[in-house]
């Protein structure tokens, strides 16, 4: 009887350890992909914002809205490099992201590209068009955030009642009376 109790205890310990280890491995696998998704989503948003920032520098220099110590050619190279990084970052989103995040990313890509194209003169537009494109891009960044958070199972929202939409931050000297 004692031997049977020892064997039963050993068997139940083995089964319990096996199941716990299996559960731990599944959890680690899930969190490993979540960590990679978080990095991919964050890197993509950073890269999109960097591309926009480089486009802003070029646009402002080309339009005479701001002085730059860098030549237009250097600013174009900066934008080109930011575009390369942005493209690579979106590839990681395509590999790891949820369907809704990928779709929001595609829509954001269109807007960010339009900003870059206006900055380089590939498409025309005035300052109002420029601001409209930038506002739309930052709204789409928030939509991408929402989709990424949902994919990751993160509670809460970055938009809505508790987080009202915010406008572009413009220095007072560049705001027009209709911007206030």
Tokens of 139: 């709204």
Query: What is the pLDDT, as a whole number, of residue 158?
Result: 67
| pLDDT recorded at residue 161 | 60
Asked if residue 87 has pLDDT above 90, the reply is: yes
The residue with greater pLDDT, 101 or 155, is 101
Q: What is the pLDDT of residue 180?
A: 44
Instruction: Please name which of 82, 85, 63 lies closest in space to residue 74, comparing C-alpha atoms.
Output: 82
Convert the pLDDT of each residue in 23-46 to its tens digit: 776 766 666 678 899 999 999 999
DSSP string, 88-155: HHHHHHHHH--HHHHHHHHHHHHHHHHHHHHHHTSS---HHHHHHHHHHHHHHHHHHHHHHHHHHT--
pLDDT above 90 (res 120) = yes
- Report d(CA 55, CA 137) in Å as an integer: 13
Q: Give the mean model confidence (pLDDT) for residues 14-25.
A: 77
pTM of the shown model? 0.75
């Amino acid at each position: 009887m004692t031997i049977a109790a020892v064997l039963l205890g050993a068997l139940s310990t083995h089964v319990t350890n096996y199941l716990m280890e299996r559960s731990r491995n599944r959890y680690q696998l899930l969190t490993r992909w979540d960590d990679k998704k978080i990095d991919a989503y964050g890197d993509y948003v950073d890269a999109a914002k960097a591309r926009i920032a480089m486009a802003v520098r070029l646009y402002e220099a080309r339009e005479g809205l701001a002085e730059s110590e860098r030549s237009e050619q250097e600013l174009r190279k900066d934008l080109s490099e930011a575009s390369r990084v942005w493209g690579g970052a979106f590839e990681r989103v395509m590999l790891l992201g949820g369907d809704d995040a990928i779709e929001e990313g595609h829509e954001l890509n269109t807007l960010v590209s339009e900003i870059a194209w206006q900055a380089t003169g590939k498409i025309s537009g005035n300052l109002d068009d420029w601001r409209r494109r930038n506002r739309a891009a930052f709204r789409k960044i928030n939509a991408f955030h929402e989709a990424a958070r949902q994919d990751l199972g993160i509670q809460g929202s970055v938009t809505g009642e508790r987080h009202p939409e915010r406008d572009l931050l413009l220095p007072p000297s560049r705001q027009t009376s209709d911007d206030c």
